[in-house]
């Protein structure tokens, strides 16, 4: 497959994306919400192009036939018919057909459907586009035989061919991974060892379908994610401890986390195993040596999977735990040294406010205020509404929120919730979602806001994860230049002056937003540029796709027999045989893997008191003993 210079869909995004959360606007129904969104470009093309050859495609001729060249044959079609518009060099809609990471994502379009959903052609956008003849847009549609081959490929799990560059990449064994950790711990001062924690992308390193550019995105996503969870004063790039940049080390102290906080993380980890493989005593011995080097502070986890950490620690409850975000907005603002009511009441020029008729996450109007915390860092808070009518109409009621002592309560809005975007100590951003009365929530209600990129797999805005992906460049610009607050026709006299004091001129507002954005991009560049080279943060987000979303959406993909075998460190054929011969493995839910079906990730990594299905399967296969910990009793988060 040809190599290309990495590019990105991000420069195609409009700057008018809405201020504070991920985006949406309004004609197709968003599943489960009753809300609507506009037709996307591909859907418009499909509707406009005659469906001249969309009769049922029959792929039954391929069923039951062993075809080791299936993936190669399908990708020859993609290379010939799709790659001119969907590659690293020109990834229209955020799709690069040469990248497994991209193919298993939703790309840059606002849709719930991934380009390829293994085992499910109906929910695969590539199949929808091919079958309906909307793609390729230039040239003839695929032939019926080509369509049948693509259909069958998706149906049997969408296996990817090995990329050429992976043939020179030496797979890393679990033994080599632990040996790297052991050697690194030996080099560290005895008093500092207890704080060291190790993370790995070994599974991705060993996946022959992943390109080097895909692995770079995993590394970048890890550095961005872990620094976006940090309480520390500066960006710390995780240290690679071996030449292939597969295993990384962090010091908990650098990120402001104590052992109780870290106990919360590992208590949720579903992949921990203590090796007991009678066929590999060396592996067992190295693990015990690591345990001895750590001493009493060894938590049982020699390494943590990077993909799991990115997908899980960026969501509540771990997101709130790692960043120490309290249960209420009042407690959080006290912790940050922000006094909104005092700013509004006593010094309206100490903060700024603007409103928009429609934000990037909702069809309703929205107000956003910028305050400054006790350390001089920015603290934005939005006021969001279910309806634009009544006291939810910010052109009539722009001077809220209502509180005792507010001289303008007559014109105060009544909001339904909001989001905080605040500057972390290291220059990146943290997030909090809250109800109107200030109670912290994990997800924004879809009656008010929703994630048009389906980052988490649902339309819900998940605090942390959805926000990191949406705010790829930091603060967002307003969608329009309307002065909804200072130009309100409902206000006169002192009320009018109060509105004018709160909302700056357009140029002043843009200066502030640009400063906040520049601060974020500098921190992002420090975190990510060691893996994704770029001159500065602005070039970085234009040149590369947002990495956290790609990693999370690929982590959530259903597992094939080959995927499950790779995660268990066994051969696919051996795992298939073991499942057929061991009813306990069938009881754990692994049976479908023997019939070309897949497993949901949520089934595979679901934590129960005696371990996840992966851990218990490993025990049945005599690979390892599940390492299961409990949450620290002293941690009140």
Determine the 3-state secondary structure of 379 from DSSP. Answer: strand
* Contact between residue 20 and residue 359 where contact means Cβ atoms under 8 Å apart: yes
What pLDDT, on a 0 to 100 scale, did the predictor assign at position 359? 66
Buried b (16+ CB within 10 A) or exposed e, 260-287: ebbbbbbbbbbbbbbbebeebeebbebb
Q: How confident is the model at residue 114 (pLDDT cuts 50, 70, 90)?
A: confident
In this prediction, residues 32-56 reach a mean pLDDT of 40
Q: How confident is the model at residue 31 (pLDDT cuts 50, 70, 90)?
A: very low
* Contact between residue 454 and residue 421 where contact means Cβ atoms under 8 Å apart: no
Question: Taking all residues of the chain, what is their mean pLDDT, rounded to a whole number?
Answer: 85
What token pair was written down for 433?
């979602």
Element (H, E) at 380: strand 378-384
Could you read off the pLDDT of 126-146 as tens digits, one per residue? Answer: 888 888 888 777 778 888 888
The lowest-confidence range among 42-51, 333-342, 387-396 is 42-51
What pLDDT, on a 0 to 100 scale, did the predictor assign at position 14? 30
Share of the chain above pLDDT 90, in %: 55
Could you read off the pLDDT of 472-522 as tens digits, one per residue? Answer: 999 998 876 666 676 777 888 888 888 888 888 888 899 999 999 999 999
508 by Cβ neighbours in 10 Å (0-12 / 13-18 / 19+) ranks as exposed
In this prediction, residues 9-16 reach a mean pLDDT of 28
* pLDDT reading at 426 higher than 90: yes
Q: With CA atoms as reference, report the closest residue to 261 among 325, 310, 198, 199.
A: 325
The ranges assigned to domains in the chain are 39-109+117-157, 168-322+527-555, 325-506, 561-626
| 281-294 vs 174-187: helix crossing angle, rounded to 10 | 30
Q: Is 441 left (phi over 0), alpha (psi -120 to 50) or beta?
A: beta
**Residue 237 to residue 532: CA distance in whole angstroms:** 13
What pLDDT, on a 0 to 100 scale, did the predictor assign at position 137? 76
Most confident option among 83-87, 394-398, 439-443, 445-449: 439-443
The sign one gets for the Cα dihedral 567, 568, 569, 573 is: negative
Could you read off the pLDDT of 231-247 as tens digits, one per residue? Answer: 999 999 999 999 999 99
Report which of residues 161 and 224 the model is more confident about: 224
What pLDDT, on a 0 to 100 scale, did the predictor assign at position 110? 60
Could you read off the pLDDT of 47-97 as tens digits, one per residue? Answer: 334 444 445 776 665 665 566 788 888 888 888 888 778 867 666 677 888
Q: How far is CA 553 from each of CA 48, 372, 457, 469, 556, rounded to the nearest angstrom?
A: 30, 35, 7, 12, 5
* Contact between residue 21 and residue 461 where contact means Cβ atoms under 8 Å apart: yes
What pLDDT, on a 0 to 100 scale, did the predictor assign at position 460? 87
Q: How far is CA 455 from each of CA 462, 466, 625, rounded to the nearest angstrom?
A: 9, 6, 33
* pLDDT reading at 617 higher than 50: yes
In this prediction, residues 527-548 reach a mean pLDDT of 95
Element (H, E) at 465: helix 465-470
**Phi, psi at 541, each rounded to 5°:** -75, -20
Could you read off the pLDDT of 447-456 as tens digits, one per residue? Answer: 777 777 778 8
What pLDDT, on a 0 to 100 scale, did the predictor assign at position 51? 43
* pLDDT reading at 36 higher than 60: no
* Contact between residue 314 and residue 468 where contact means Cβ atoms under 8 Å apart: yes
What pLDDT, on a 0 to 100 scale, did the predictor assign at position 156? 84
In this prediction, residues 252-267 reach a mean pLDDT of 97
What pLDDT, on a 0 to 100 scale, did the predictor assign at position 21? 36
* pLDDT reading at 527 higher than 80: yes
């Amino acid at each position: 497959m040809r190599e290309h210079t990495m590019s990105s869909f991000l420069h195609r995004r409009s700057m008018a994306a809405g201020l504070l959360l991920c985006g949406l606007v309004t004609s197709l129904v968003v599943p489960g919400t009753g809300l609507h969104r506009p037709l996307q470009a591909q859907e418009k093309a499909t509707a406009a192009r005659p469906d001249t050859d969309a009769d049922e495609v029959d792929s039954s001729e391929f069923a039951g036939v062993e075809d080791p060249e299936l993936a190669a044959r399908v990708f020859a079609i993609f290379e010939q018919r799709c790659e001119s518009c969907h590659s690293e060099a020109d990834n229209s809609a955020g799709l690069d057909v040469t990248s497994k990471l991209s193919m298993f994502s939703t790309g840059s379009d606002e849709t719930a459907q991934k380009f390829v959903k293994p085992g499910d052609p109906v929910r695969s956008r590539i199949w929808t586009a091919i079958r309906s003849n909307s793609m390729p847009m230039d040239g003839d549609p695929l032939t019926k035989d080509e369509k049948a081959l693509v259909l069958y490929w998706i149906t049997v799990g969408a296996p990817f061919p090995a990329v050429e560059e992976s043939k020179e990449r030496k797979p890393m064994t679990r033994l080599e991974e632990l040996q790297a950790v052991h050697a690194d711990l030996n080099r560290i001062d005895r008093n500092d060892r207890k704080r060291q924690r190790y993370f790995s992308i070994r599974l991705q390193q060993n996946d022959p379908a992943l390109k080097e550019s895909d692995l770079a995105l995993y590394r970048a996503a890890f550095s961005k994610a872990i620094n976006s969870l940090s309480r520390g004063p500066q960006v710390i790039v995780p240290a690679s401890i071996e030449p292939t940049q597969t295993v990384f080390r962090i010091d908990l102290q650098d990120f402001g986390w104590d052992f109780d906080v870290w106990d919360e993380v590992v208590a949720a980890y579903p992949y921990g195993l203590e090796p007991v493989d009678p066929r590999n005593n060396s592996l067992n011995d190295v693990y015990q040596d690591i345990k001895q080097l750590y001493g009493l502070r060894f938590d049982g986890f020699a390494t943590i999977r990077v993909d799991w950490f990115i997908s899980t620690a960026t969501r509540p409850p771990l997101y709130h735990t790692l960043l120490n975000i309290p249960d209420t907005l009042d407690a959080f603002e006290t912790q940050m040294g922000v006094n909104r009511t005092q700013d509004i009441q006593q010094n309206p020029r100490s903060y700024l406010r603007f409103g928009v008729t429609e934000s990037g996450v909702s069809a309703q109007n929205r107000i956003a205020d910028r305050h400054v915390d006790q350390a001089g860092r920015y603290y934005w808070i939005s006021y969001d509404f279910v309806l634009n009518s009544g006291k939810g109409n910010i052109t009539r009621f722009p001077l809220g929120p209502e509180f005792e002592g507010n001289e303008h309560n007559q014109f105060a809005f009544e909001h339904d919730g909001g989001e905080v975007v605040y500057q972390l100590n290291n220059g990146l951003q943290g997030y909090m979602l809250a109800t109107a009365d200030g109670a912290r929530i994990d997800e924004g209600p879809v009656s008010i806001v929703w994630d048009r990129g389906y980052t988490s797999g649902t339309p819900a805005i998940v605090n942390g994860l959805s926000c990191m992906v949406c705010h790829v460049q930091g603060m967002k610009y307003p969608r329009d230049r309307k002065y909804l607050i200072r130009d309100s026709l409902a206000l006169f006299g002192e009320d009018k002056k109060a509105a004018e004091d709160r909302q700056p001129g357009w140029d002043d507002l843009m200066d502030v937003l640009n400063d906040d954005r520049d601060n974020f991009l500098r921190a992002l560049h420090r975190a990510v540029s060691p893996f994704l080279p770029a001159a500065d943060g602005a070039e970085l987000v234009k040149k590369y796709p947002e990495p956290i979303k790609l990693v999370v959406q690929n982590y959530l993909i259903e597992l094939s027999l080959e995927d499950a075998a790779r995660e268990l460190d066994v051969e696919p054929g051996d795992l298939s045989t073991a499942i057929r011969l061991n009813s306990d493995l069938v009881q754990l839910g692994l049976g479908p893997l023997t019939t070309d079906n897949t497993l949901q990730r949520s089934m595979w990594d679901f934590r129960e008191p005696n371990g996840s299905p992966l851990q218990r399967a490993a025990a049945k296969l005599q690979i390892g003993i599940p390492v299961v910990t409990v949450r620290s009793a002293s941690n009140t988060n």
